Amino acid sequence: MRFAGRGAGLSATILDGRALAERIKLETAGEVAEFVAASGRAPGLTVVLVGDDPASKVYVRNKEAACKACGIRGRVLRLPSTSAQAELIAVLDELNADASVDGILVQLPLPATIDERAVIDRINPLKDVDGFHVDNVGRLAIGSPRFAPCTPLGIVAMLRDAGVTTRGARAVVLGRSMTVGKPLALLLLQKGEGGDATVTVAHSASREVASIAREADILIAAIGRPELVRDDWVKPGAVVVDVGIHRRDDGTLCGDVHFPTVAEVASRITPVPGGVGPLTVAMLLKNTLVAARLAHGG
């Protein structure tokens, strides 16, 4: 699909995350069926939700529905926001010991009284389908990944599916979070298809961020500021991936990229919504299947 630019610039091709996510889910459903036939059981994913954060509740519902659709046995454990860290740790210990649970995901953010890092690192790294455990982060850093975070995995899958050449390309990642920025940079640095890029990570302390962004053949915006990236941040013909999602005062959604102007400069661009977001859940399903195969000796 093309975006008809309003000016004389390029007309960017839309990278449709929804369509790709549906294809990945369909493919995963077939692989899950094969796993069930071979092992006699369905892969199991347990999501732990602490508190009543509205956005988290929506994300968890989406994960439940996606699991059901592809044959994964999904379960949600809901804990009150007043839960102590020790209570959450005890729940994770039970899940770690439960052979029917292949994947464990603690929905973030957690209440301020709970240490997120201590909780994440309590998860068995073989069941850490979010890819946040220090063991899995370390494996990714040394080039021997087991699980990588789902949003970065989805971005790389999108680039590969669209035929975007990453080998030798200059990739700029705006943002250094442990959920997107850092692991995405590491994925783009991996040897092989979808990697071999020359990667720069810019962040809140970087100087002249716009000029850094303009050097990118592939620009990934995960900086957490609505519509910060404008057309003068983008090299003509660059591929632009928008990870941000924000709600405007009028209730509409936008990303970290000002879509109308950047779409006139970029060659390809992701929309918000419908770009990166759907791929996050799709890659979670794939990670859960990998965890089940590991548990089954695969």
Peptide bond into 260 cis (omega under 30): no
Set 16, 102, 130, 217: catalytic member: 130
220 SS3 class: strand
DSSP 80: -
Set 16, 25, 102, 107: catalytic member: 107
78 SS3 class: strand
Set 25, 63, 127, 286: catalytic member: 63
Residue 107 annotated among the catalytic residues of the structure: yes
How many other C-beta atoms can be found within 10 angstroms of the C-beta atom of residue 177? 17
Residue 85 annotated among the catalytic residues of the structure: no
Residue reference for tokens 């992701």: 270
Residue 190 annotated among the catalytic residues of the structure: no
DSSP collapsed to 3 states, 103-154: EEEECCCCCCCCCHHHHHCCCCCCCECCCCCHHHHHHHHCCCCCCCCHHHHH
How many other C-beta atoms can be found within 10 angstroms of the C-beta atom of residue 10? 18
DSSP 240: E
Residues classed as catalytic? 63, 107, 130
